[in-house]
Structure 1
């Protein structure tokens, strides 16, 4: 279970752009800080992953995404002028609170319930290594110890490495996309 949040931004052409925030970016997003600023509020997102989903560009956050609220950039005055017209106001769509998300995660953990999803593989990432040196017993990554030139498993001590698969793929269903990493055999 991971945190997810969506925000809709409007550009100068009054076009909406829905950004999906995941994980730490979603948890750290300062909605209360935005609500304290007088409208209009300029927010800049960096390092988004752009994909095409259902014939539209779909931006979502990555581990490198940075969110900057009310930055001091040259376009700031142009945006403030455009979005200070009568009728413009900050629209806030309620999200689940952090506490509600944590309670749901605890509930799911207690149930130990399996979740099944029907999705289609849309691409494999081929520019990464497709295998790793794994423990023959548990298939976890082995750590290389330079002092004795041996591979160590955190659970099974010294091991002879076993080549294990590491496949990166993107899957999608009718509503969203996800990146999946398959490890082991």
Structure 2
């Protein structure tokens, strides 16, 4: 990957990467369009100099789109990454060992059009949220498949547990 914000270790590979859908900017695009429309109507009916105020609406539209376009989500074999920011940049890396739980949600329109939100609960820090991404269930599975998953496995080997049992028996004998 050529992005300078993402550094991978030698044995680390990208499993999934994505960005929010452009529809996440629809609120800003709508507000900006309304402001431009009002300014242009005011420029025609009141004073032509009011057309300059439409730059505010254009700025809102541009900001909304840039904010979405400068947000990136990455899942690697070792971590979950979030990068965002237009004038500045915020990069967050969460090792998969810190991931406690994952969940995904879809609104009615998200279910219809195939997008949703994936939430990643992080031990000792704020959660990471991938908003308005395509196929959130698959993205969630890409994370849970790497964190040790369903919780039904017993940690350690049989030999390790035999050693623990021997130590516990020795402690019991010493106490009695």
Per the TM superposition, whether the score is higher than 0.5 is no
More strand by share: 1
More helix by share: 2
Larger Rg computed on CA atoms: 2
TM-score bucket (shorter structure) = under 0.3
* Higher RCO (C-alpha 8 Å, min separation 6): 2
